[in-house]
Structures are given as structure tokens and as C-alpha cells.
Chain A
Amino acid sequence: MDNIGVIISLILILGGLVTLLIRSLQAREVDRRIIFLFIFLAVAAPILFPMTFKEKATQVVKSVFDKIENLPEGSTVLLSFDFDPAMAPEVQPMANAISRHCFEKGHKIIFMSLWATGQALLSHSLSEFILPGFPEKENLVDYVSIGYKAGNEGVLNVIITDIQKMFPTDVNSVPLDSIPIFDNIESCKDLDFIMSIGGGKPGPKEWVLFVGDPGDVPVGVGVAAVVAPQMYPYYPGQIVGILGGVKGAAEYESELIRVHPRFAEMDTPGLRMMGPQTLAHVVIMAFIVIGNVVFFRGRRREKKE
């Protein structure tokens, strides 16, 4: 049924693109809403009739995976949710996959956020996606959420030397000095790994500038696709690796399933999203090609005249 759905959708989209090409060549006006409809179809069809692909992790993603995989059991990882709903579909799958990976390896996780919206998304992620897979994990022992603080990079400037000064309590007003995870953690310099997931300011870049470089702490970044190219100058000297956009999330999920097959049973939104992503990319490339065919035809005609 799914295959038939995929074929029908592909035929519809292909037929539509050919019609678009013909109309464009005839120099007839194409309403922008037709273009919008194409994109909607290209995204909706693979969601209705899922197309699944295998992914292979690139080195920038694999370095983050290997870092978490090779940390000794009981290491402390800080995971910062520095994003809002506008980035969430891209980066939340990464955050979930990395949290699961850390739990699977027996690491302790400190969750925090530099964005107010990040704390709300973190709360949602923890209760809906992360903790249901790990019912044995105990709050304050295996993980803790210290939440959000206002002040952007100002927050980082304090926690690089003293976490408790900036975060006297966790989100539920439990003093940090009574939380077992913080027994040997005074500042960010005592952490084994930091993963910042975001895409705006403050976000991964600020973690590199204010914590990673001055504190010599390994920092990995998971970023929205728009920001991903801007993070490459920091790799590999200043950051461990980069998860860029939904593709980065899909690669991480595929690596997680490859090494820990039990995660195949869990939801993998990154991998699931690659179907619609692929078709939409093809349609956008087709738009560029059609636009250019019409442009060059027009230019040649102008030259002749």
C-alpha cells in the first residue's frame, strides 16, 4: 500500500513539474500558490507513505558519537537545550538520541538551557521521549535538570568557574550541593563532555567561546542546518564534532542503532524525516532547473533579436 502511495505521489509530482516546465516555457504566469502546493505535496506524500533510507554517519557526526561511546561509565555529560520551537523539529531528535546514548552508556546527565523556551522543550522531551525508555534512571542521581537562566553568555561566564553560583538549585528548588551528581563537579571544567544543541545566540558558538576554549573542556555541537556551515571553522580544533540539521540527527540515530540495536525499537524522528526531506530537495532542485531553463531560453531569444 505504501509503495503504491509513493508511486502515485511521485507520478503526481513529476507530472506537475513537467506541466510547470511547459507553462514556464510558454511564458505563462505561474501563481506562487502552485509552487507552495508542490512543496506541500512533496513533504506530505512521504509522511503519509513513509520512505525509509539507510544512513551512514559522516566523520563530523561519528566523532561526537565515539566521544560519548568511549567515555568511561559514570562520566558526567552536560547537555544544553539552547533552542526554541522554531528549531525543535531539526534539533530535538538529536537531543533525544544523545540523551538516550548517554543513559545507555551509564553516564550522568546535567540538563540545562540558555533559552527560556529550551527549558520548556527540555521538560517535554524528558517526560515524553527520554525517560520512558529508561524507567530505572533516577532524578538527581542519574540525571538532573538545572534549567534556564537569563543572561546569555553571562551565564556561561559564571559557570566556567562556579556552577552553583549561577545555579544554586535545580529546577525543583533542590540545592545543588545536596545533589549527588554535583559531588565532584564545581565548574564546567570538571565535566567530561559538553553538548550544546541549538542554532541561535546564545548557543553552540557561545559554548565554544566562553567554556570550551577557555576551560579546555571538550564541546560537541548539534545545530540547526542554517547554522551548521558556520560551525565548521571550529572543527576539529575547538569542537569534537558537529551534528548539522535533521541529517545530522538521522546519522546519529543510525549510528546509535548500529552499535546498540535495541534503539531500533524506539522512535527515530531524524531517520523518519529523511524521506520528506529527500523529495522536497528534489522538487526544489527541479524548480531551480526549470527557472534556469526558462531564463537561458529567454536570454538566447533576446540575443537573437
Chain B
Amino acid sequence: MKRQIPLFITFFVGTLLIFSVFIPPMETLGENFTLFFDIIAVFAFFLGAGNLVRVHVSKLRKRKADWGFSIVTLIGFGFMLFVGLLKIGNPGGIAADVTAPGSWFQEMFNYVINPLQSTMYALLAFFVASASYRAFRAKNREATILLMAAFVILLGRTPLGMMLTAWIPDSLSIFQIPNMAVWIMNSFNLAGQRAILIGISLGVVAMSLRLILGVERTYLGGDDSG
């Protein structure tokens, strides 16, 4: 039972959503099931948050390494939840946009989440530079082709590309770096990406079918006790 019911649910919902595309009277049913999915997605957010709290409380209790930082996580979580759920400082009251300018929730987003997340990703600029110096080698023909395409794009997608090759006459404009970049993007890149896309789509379609028909069951886990 612990496996049969989930397999039936997957089959039922998956099949219904496929049929709802082709059979117009089933459209509303498909919409409603998708709405159910959207609502369950929010419970998944709650689950994620609950799990985060559980992990950090346990870390704190057991005084594991860096347990002090778990306090930071829990305080940050608690404070954001408090200002968000109660819409503290929201100029429009309870019915207004939760992200209304001036609300504490929005200020926390602007001045805490925004700088933290964007800086974490900005770190990648440094690591890309370091990798370019240490690892990007034209070791063989394939790597050389990759390197050349990268150079054309790096130059062609900046004004420098045009400045360097502006002297090339219009009749040979294909050799101007920005035009070469356009050429690579619209033909070679398009072809390569399309080949990858077709491969991925076949994978997605096959996996969807396996899931709906109950052939693929790994998401149910191996342990029945939960």
C-alpha cells in the first residue's frame, strides 16, 4: 500500500494532465490540478524552512562545530518570518503588497538578501579569472576550437571588438569580430545547442513516461518506514 497509492497518484495526475491538453472539456480539471500543485509547492517551502530550523536547532543542542553560526541562521530566520508574516511597517496594511516599498520585509530584502546573494555570485568572477589563468589550455584541436570561439565572443560582445576591426571594409565585414560573434551565435552555437536540446527533450519525455507508468520509482525511496 505504501508504494501502490503513490504510484497510482502519479499515474492518475500525470495522465490527466496529458489528456487535458488534447480534450478541451478536461481543461478545467487540468487547471485545478495545476492549482493544487501550486499550493502544495508552498507547503514545500514550509517543509524546507522547517527542515532548516530542525537541522540548526539540533546543531545548537549538540554543540557541533560552528554551532554559534546556527544562532545567526535562526535569528535571521525568525526575524524575517516575524516582519514578513505580520507585514511590519507595511504602509498599506494587511491587504497591501508584502513587498511594498518601505515595509520591513522589503527593506530586509533590499539590504540583506540582495547584497548577500549577488555578492556570493559575484565571487564567481574571481574564480572564472583564476581558472582562465590556470586551467584553460589549448591542449588539443578541440580545446583550441573552444578557445577561439571564446575569444571571438569575449571580444565581439564588447565595443573593443568593433574598435579593433572597424578598418575592415564592408565587403569583408564578415571578418569584423562582432559579425563573427553574431555568426557563431546564430549558426554554430544554434546548431550545437539545438542538438543538446533535442537530446534533453527526449530524456525528459522518456523520464516523464517512466514516472507516469511507474517504471521509475526511485523517488519513492527504498525504506518503507519512511
Contacts and interface: CB of A to CB of B under 8 A. Distances in A.
Contact between chain A and chain B defined by CB under 8 Å: yes
Contacts of B99: 119-120, 122-123, 147, 171
A155 B34 CA distance: 8
Interface string B153-185: 011011110100000000000000010001001
B216 interface: no
Interface residues of A, number: 68
B41 interface: yes
Contacts of A124: 101, 106, 110
Contact of B193 (A87, A117, A162, A229): A229
Contact of A292 (B41, B45, B137): B137
A22 B135 CA distance: 18
Given A39-B129, A123-B97, A291-B132, A151 B34 contact: yes
A173 B95 contact: yes
Nearest to A56: B162
A35 B133 contact: yes
Contacts of B100: 123
A285 interface: yes
B121 interface: yes
B173 to A, nearest CB: 13
B152 to A, nearest CB: 11
A281 to B, nearest CB: 5
B37 A287 contact: no
B130 A151 contact: no
Given A127-B101, A285-B155, A154 B38 contact: yes
Contacts of B120: 86
B31 A162 contact: yes
Interface stretch (B53-61, B66-74, B111-119, B217-225): B111-119
A277 B158 contact: yes
B130 A165 contact: no
A43 B125 contact: yes
A53 interface: yes
B63 to A, nearest CB: 33
A32 B130 contact: yes
A151 B129 CA distance: 36
B193 A152 contact: no
A3 interface: no
Interface string B134-155: 1111110000000100110011
A274 interface: yes
B49 interface: no
B35 A166 contact: yes
A75 interface: no
B121 A86 contact: yes
Interface in A51-66: 53-56, 58-60
Contact of B27 (A84, A161, A230, A285): A161
B42 interface: yes
B160 A172 contact: no
Interface in A76-127: 84-89, 117, 119-120, 122-124, 127
B185 A229 contact: yes
Given A39-B125, A161-B27, A280-B125, A147 B157 contact: no
B35 A158 contact: yes
Contacts of A284: 128-129, 132, 154
22 contacts: A35-B130, A36-B129, A43-B125, A54-B159, A60-B185, A84-B117, A86-B118, A86-B120, A123-B106, A151-B37, A152-B41, A154-B35, A157-B31, A161-B31, A162-B31, A171-B97, A172-B95, A229-B185, A233-B190, A235-B186, A281-B155, A295-B138
Top 6 A-B pairs ranked by shortest CB distance?
Answer: A151-B38, A53-B159, A171-B97, A287-B133, A86-B121, A233-B194
Given A35-B133, A233-B194, 7 more contacts: A147-B97, A150-B38, A158-B31, A278-B160, A284-B129, A284-B132, A285-B154
